[in-house]
Structure formats: structure tokens, C-alpha cells
Chain A
Amino acid sequence: MKKLRGVLGTGALLMAGAAMAQVEDMPGGPRVNQLNLHEGVTQIAQDVAWLHWMIMIICLVIFVGVFGVMFYSIAMHRKSRGAVPAKFHEHVGIEIAWTVIPFIIIIAMALPATKLMVAMKDTSNADLTVKVTGYQWKWGYEYVDGPAQGVQFLSNLATPRAQIEGTEPRSNTYLMEVDKPLVVPVDKKVRIVLTSTDVIHSWMVPEFGVKQDAMPGFLRDTWFRAEKVGTYRGQCAELCGKDHAFMPIVVNVVSQADYEKWSAEQQKVLASAADDPNKKYTSQELVTRGQQVYTANCVACHQANGKGLPGTFPALDANEKFVLAPMKDQILTVLNGHPGTAMAAFRDQLNDVEIASVVTYTRNAWSNAGKGPDPVVQPADVKALR
């Protein structure tokens, strides 16, 4: 099996080589073989790029100076050229000079850096606040104020598994595309308030000059004011476990009018899609819905075939302890997580209908169908255990 995967991998390499020519710059993401920082669509990102240029040029000048002297010495003061070693070995004046001059240069670098740092940290007077939550391994967005207040959704990687495995050609936005992007208005100061439910994640969008860790149990904030309509992309920047590379960030910057239109649509969807926790659903309804919930939340660890990953993530298929047992323990585990493992508490992420659906799904999927007790779990059962 391993060997077969190796062979397939080599094949994929060749395909990747052939496909390489077709890769184009990613809009809002990295350019092909980009050499320097993104130009930036916020004042902050542009200032960072400028500061980087300034310091890099100063460093290059010093570099050329120091190594000019060294390589001159290497060329001219060779024994093979008959060089006789000089006797000098100290000079207080020159030691003071090459301590004081760098100190002055550093102050010259620190002044603009200080100004910029203060600006980056100033999250006051925001026009719009969005709460961003890091999950293993996706982002959640919630609009705290403005026309979209109350709108919340999860943003998952949209790249199909087949592209990652290399069986399908890779799109231009490979690994940096999501099912539901964050939408914000142009030219407005957007304050991002971050937290996490499990481990530390980091929300990074290079075009905005923004990178801020999301700390479980704490709130941190940052801000940006995008000056150009467009789609901007980033990725999680703090190691957060196995799918660290697969939780990108996509932000759609739209005009104020488009933003208001989008907000109204979202509010409508929010009103109509409200799940009714008191309704009794049929088994088929729950299984269909449950499969969607499973794909969005569980599949990364427990796998599409329910077999998990031995030693790391337990199997749900033929799982006698929870799935093929009375429903109570399974519901409680989904609600509260399993401390000390990657199994998260889903009580705040999923509503009663979603939890009932996904539990029902696992009890009817794979080889589990028709085996254990409680094949159908209703939202009311979940509600009772909350």
C-alpha cells in the first residue's frame, strides 16, 4: 500500500511539473515566485513594505562596506602575495566609533518603526467589529455590529481532497479558497476580535499587514482598513495540529452598497434557516443533514470512512463504546468534548438539530447501520442533556 502511494506520489510530481507552467498569480494571494512583501491594500501594509525596504537598504550598504573591506583584505593581504602581518591589535577610538555609529543607525530605524507600531496597535474608533474564532481546523466569523449584526458562519477550506492528493489538477487558488469568505466594506476601519476554542491559531492576511494570534479563552484584537475592493487571502500562521495548512482565510472587500445588500441577504437566510429544536425529524432527514454536519466538522479527524486514524483519532465505525451504545454518552461527548484530546466541545458551535443529526448519522453510517440501540436521536434528546 505504502509503495503504491509512493508510486502515485511520483506520478503526481511529474504532473505537478507539467502543470507548473500554468500556475498564475493568485488574486489577493501570493504571486508566482514573489520576491518581496505584498504591496498591500491598507496603509499599514504599505508602510510595513516601505519600512522593510528602508532597513534592507541600510543593511545592504553596511554589508557591502564590511565585506568590501574583508574581501579587499582577502585579495590583497595574502601570504602568497608576500603579505607580512602588521603588529596592531587594538585601538580604543575605533572600538568606540563602531559601537556609537551603529547605535545611531538603530535609532534612525527605530523611529519610523515606533510610529508604525503605534498605528498598528490602535484599534479604537472602528466602523465595524467582527469576532473571529479559530477552530481545529476552520475559522468562524460573527458580526458584532453593523447591518450584518448577528450573522455568523464557519469558513472551511474549499479545495477538494482530490486536488490535495494530486488526482485532479490544482486550481489557481489551491489551499487559499474557502466555502464562505468574510465580507467587509471598503474604506472602513474593521476591528477583528479574536479568540479560539481549542489551541492557538493565528489570523494572517498579508495584503492587510495583519497577523494576530487567536488565544483560547482570551480576546485579542487587530484592525485593517482595506482601500481597494477585491478578494484577499491568507492562512493560519500558528501551528495548530494536523490540518494547520488547511484552514485558509479569505476576505471579500466590497463597496458599502454591496456590503449592505449582502448583509440583508444574510439576515434573511438567518431568519428562514433557523432550525426548530422542538420538531420531530424523520430518520432520513437527520441522516442527510447529519452527513453535512459530519463533513464540515468531524471528517478531518474521524475520516470519511469513520475509521479515524489509529493511535490518534478513534474510529466511529464499529465503535462499541459510544456509537453502538446508548445515546447518552455519545451526545455528552459531542457537547462537552473529551478533555486532553483533540475532541472539541461542540456545544457552542452546533445547535441541537445539528448535534442530533450528526449523532444519528454516525449510528447509521458505514457498518453501524441497524446494530446498536437508539438508532435515531431527536433534537429534544440533545436539549435534555445540555
Chain B
Amino acid sequence: MSSVTADHVPAIQGHEDHHHKPHGWRRWLFATNHKDIGTMYLIFSFCMLLEGGVLALLLRTELFSPGLQFFRPELFNQFTTMHGLIMIFGAIMPAFVGFANWMIPLQIGASDMAFARMNNFSFWLLPIGAILFTVSFFMPGGANAAGWTMYAPLSLQMGPGMDFNIFAVHILGASSIMGAINIIVTVLNMRAPGMTLMKMPMFCWTWLITAYLLLAIMPVLAAAVTMLLTDRHFGTAFFNAAAGGDPVLYQHVFWFFGHPEVYVMILPAFGIISQVVPAFARKRLFGYASMVYATAAIAILSFLVWAHHMFATGMPITGQLYFMYATMLISIPTGVKVFNWVATMWRGSLTFETPMLFAVGFIFVFVIGGFTGLIVAVAPIDIQVHDTYYVIAHFHYVMVAGSLFGMYAGAYYWLPKWTGRMYDEKLGKLHFWSSMISFNITFFPMHFLGLAGMPRRYADYAAQFTDFNVIATIGAFWFGISQLIFLYLAVRAWTGHGEPAAAKSWEGAEGLEWTVPSPAPFHTFVTPPVVK
């Protein structure tokens, strides 16, 4: 066995010359290079962000004033549903896998991801899923209108758009599982000599833990939607009480996936923030070990709290209390992370380039989302605000201000490494401030709407709710337009405009990725670096 491996050594080294690099469309369709695949992931997810964003703006347009102006309620419900599904499975999750593809090999000193062809396959499944999502709008009866949660029995009433939806979730789930396996194997087996686990950059740590979460939960989601499929077409009755099933069973299975899924979408952002804050504070991350333990604690707790999404289903009191206590506990490791970030900034030497602005903005708004999360964890309060706009406000504070702002921090931070060009700092700052202000204009009033009792997923509302809805709609359009600044900056850098970036693009940046030139060459670390 060992002699076979030895025979191949010259061939592997021969790889470094660029003659094998395919050109034209083949470079992308047959891509096995982690950087090319990472780029495709990022472009794909930004396209889906725009599609999901347009759906959100259609919702906000209808909700600009009471009454039904533009869309029939059944179409409105399709928009809410597909907005959620596309943002989660099309935008946020693939974007983080894109970051992982680009950065994990560069950060641990590996030459590529462990399974290059599987990497290609897991990317190319995504456009298929996205097409299934999108064409479902044109099916008889339209797209899935049962909410992204697809609760039975409402989802059993949907037309063929629901089946497209189920297949899309299967496909995207398979893609996520393959991506997760790839990341776990890469991180565990391909670290450069001397790069022990506890020396790894935080982004790799958070992704390692996220990948385990994905492995555990995506099959559960697949099971839930498969049961929907067989209930719909093959005469089973998992969720039909008349035949001995139970609609609440669906919710338990779904949220056993759904709650860890929330952390799948936020832990990699924690990792990015843990890289960006030390870089611009010019000071080591405070409490590295406790950050690792806190991430692991969040991941483990995330499996034990799922039914806090179901306080209104009528669980027994013991269930209500257990899930309330367990959920409140999550705020402790999350708090530890925030305290560590602040302690990292404390007595640093701070500068505020765009990545740092997004990181500080992330901490600020994410903590608001964290606190409202603690408030909805308290079961008696949740009974009042469950399924109202309060919940919408809460999870957009953690998903938009959390995941999305985290991604922007990472994108501006590593854009020079990816493209070899610096972005325009002035426009970057404009993007941050414009997003930050309009985000709060959009989502802060939703707290008030929810507390006053406006239910979510409503195409129409009582006239007393009008003013805050008007404000939210104005904010939403402003927020949407602001994202085009990022598109402009990213395209400019990618097409080779702007100041050339140095290998170490930021004064305080640390890590192996800054030891290779900018843009990172097609092949890096063919000979592993040695980490002291």
C-alpha cells in the first residue's frame, strides 16, 4: 500500500504547474478545486439571496397598507413559504459552505478539500434544488404555501408544488450532508504538521462542529418530508389522526431538525466574527479555549430544546417547563462568546474597516436577537407572542443581523485574498451603515407589532397596525437596494478592478491564509507548511 502511495508522489507534485487546469465552462462544471467550488457556492448563494429578497419585498409591498392590494392570500402564502425556504436552504447554508470551501484548506494548510469530486457533486446538486424551488411557482396550484415549516396536515392539502418542494429539500439535504462529510474529513485529517486541533482558527472549529450538526439533522429533515410524501401519495397516515397518526408528530420531528438548523446557520458566523475581531483589534482572541467549549456546548444543547417552538401545541406542563429551562440555558454559552469578543476588543488597537464594522454591528444586533430569544424562551411569554411578528423580528435579528452580517464581515475580510483586489473602503462603509440602519427600520417595529398581537403569515391586518407596517416596508426596500452596493463591490474586485492586495491584506490579520499571495493561487500548500 505504502509503495503505491510513494509511486504517486511525483504525479501529485506535477499538479502544481497549471497545465492541468481546465478552461472555459469545463473549469466550472468539472471543478474539483476548492477555490473554484467555493466561488461557485458564493455566487449561487448570492443569487438565491436576491431571489429570496425579491420575494420578501413582494410580501412587504402587499403589507404596506391594510386590505388586499396586489396578491391573493394564497399567492402571498407561497411568497412567505418560498422566501423562508430559499433564504435558508439556498442562501445562508450554501454561503457558509462556500466560505468553508475557500477558507478551511487555506487556514489549516491543506492543498484542497478531502473529497474533491464529491465536492463538485455537492455543489451541482444546489442549482437543481433551486430550479425545483423556483419552477414550483408555475405548477398547478402554485408553490408550497404551507410555510417553510411545512406543517401537516396543511402541507398534505398542497398541489404538486409541494412534491417539488420535498424533492428539493431531499436534494439540498444530500448536498449538505456531503459538504459536511467533506469538511469533517478535511479538518480532521488534512491539517498541516503542527496544526493541532486547539491551534486551529476559530472558523475551522465552528465549521467542524456545524458539520457534525448537519450530519445529525439533515437525515431527520429528510425523514420528516418523506413521511409527508408518503402521506400525500402512498396512503400512509403518519400525520392523519383519523387513521391513527398525529399531526404533532410532524412538528417534533421537524423541530428536532429545525432547532439545531438555527445553529448551523449561526455557528459559522460566530467563527468569522472570532477571526475578524482579533484582526482589527490587533490582539489575540480572548478565551480561545472557552470559545471552543462554548461552541460545543451550544451545539449539544441545540439538540435538547426543539419543542420550545411548540409551546402553543398543548404539551403537558412538565414538557413546557423542561423545554423552557433547557432553552434558557443556551443563553449562557452564547453570552460567553459575546463577553469574549468584547474582551478581545478591550485594550486592543482598534480600526474600523468594513469587516470590523460588520463584526461590531453583528455583535450589537445579534445580542438584541439573543435577548428576544431569551424572552420567547420563557414559555408564558411565548404563549402571548408565539406566531406573531415578535417571532419574525427575533429570528431576523439573528438570521439577517446574525448570519448575513457575519457573512459580510467575512466576505470583506477575505475578498482581497479571493480576488487579489481591495474593495472601495468608502462604498464598503456605506454598505454597512445603509444596511445597519435600514435593517433596524425594517425589523425593530415588528417587535411592537408582535407584542400588540399581529399574527405572522397574514396577508392583511387590522388598521391599527398600519404605521409600523409602513415603516417596515420602507426599511425593507432600503435594505434590499443597499445589498446592490455589495454586488457592485464584489463584481469589481472579481473582475480585477481596484488596488492590488498584499499577501497579508490586513495589518492585524493572522493565520496561514495570509502567507499565500493574493489572489490565492490555483494550488496552495502542495507542500504542507509547518506550524510551530
Contacts and interface: CB of A to CB of B under 8 A. Distances in A.
B321 to A, nearest CB: 6
Contacts of A26: 462, 464
A90 B287 CA distance: 5
B467 A109 contact: no
B73 interface: yes
B480 interface: no
Contacts of B216: none
Contact of A37 (B325, B329, B451, B460): B451
B73 A33 contact: no
B360 to A, nearest CB: 7
B67 A16 contact: yes
A105 to B, nearest CB: 9
B467 A33 contact: yes
Interface in B49-63: none
Contact of B287 (A35, A70, A89, A164): A89
Interface stretch (A50-58, A325-333, A361-369): A50-58
Contact of A109 (B146, B154, B378, B448): B378
Contact of A165 (B67, B313, B344): B67
Interface string A213-238: 10111101110000000000011111
A373 to B, nearest CB: 29
A384 interface: no
A83 B348 contact: yes
A32 B448 CA distance: 11
B317 interface: yes
B247 A164 contact: no
B461 interface: yes
Interface in A169-228: 170, 172-176, 198-200, 202, 204, 206, 209-213, 215-218, 220-222
Contacts of B452: 30-31, 34-38, 206
A86 B283 contact: yes
Interface stretch (B28-36, B335-343, B425-433): B335-343
A238 B387 CA distance: 7
B154 A240 contact: yes
A114 interface: yes
Contacts of A173: 462
Given A26-B462, A85-B349, A70 B380 contact: no
A113 B317 CA distance: 12
Contacts of B242: 217
B347 A85 contact: yes
A110 interface: yes
Nearest to A49: B384
Contacts of B284: 89
B266 interface: no
Contacts of A120: 380, 383
Nearest to A2: B70
B241 interface: yes
B365 to A, nearest CB: 11
A240 B146 CA distance: 8
B335 A102 contact: yes
A380 interface: no
Interface in B272-331: 281-290, 312-314, 316-317, 320-321, 324-325, 328-329, 331
Nearest to B329: A106
Given A79-B350, A85-B348, A48 B154 contact: no
B455 interface: yes
A312 interface: yes
B451 A35 contact: yes
B522 interface: no
A134 B188 CA distance: 53
A59 interface: yes
B332 A103 contact: yes
Interface string B39-77: 000000000000000000000000011111110111001
Contact of B465 (A30, A51, A209): A30
Given A89-B286, A98-B335, A244 B457 contact: yes
B147 interface: yes
A67 B317 contact: no
B151 A200 contact: yes
A33 B328 contact: no
A106 B347 CA distance: 30
Interface stretch (A6-14, A124-132, A263-271, A274-282): A6-14
B453 A245 contact: no
A43 to B, nearest CB: 12
Interface string B510-531: 0000000000000000000000
Nearest to B388: A237
Contacts of B229: none
Contacts of A12: 65, 67, 69
Given A117-B380, A245-B459, A73 B346 contact: yes
A312 B247 contact: no
A216 B147 contact: no
A242 B328 contact: no
B69 A9 contact: yes
A273 interface: no
Nearest to B316: A121
B342 A73 contact: yes
Nearest to A206: B453
A172 B380 CA distance: 30
A90 B286 contact: yes
30 contacts: A20-B463, A29-B462, A34-B451, A37-B385, A47-B380, A51-B381, A59-B371, A69-B346, A73-B347, A83-B347, A85-B282, A89-B283, A98-B336, A102-B332, A106-B328, A109-B378, A170-B66, A200-B154, A206-B453, A211-B387, A215-B314, A234-B453, A235-B455, A242-B73, A242-B74, A243-B73, A244-B459, A311-B140, A311-B159, A312-B142
Given A29-B453, A89-B344, A175-B462, 18 more contacts: A26-B462, A30-B452, A30-B464, A45-B384, A69-B346, A70-B342, A73-B350, A88-B347, A89-B286, A89-B287, A99-B332, A106-B331, A175-B66, A210-B383, A217-B241, A217-B242, A236-B455, A245-B460
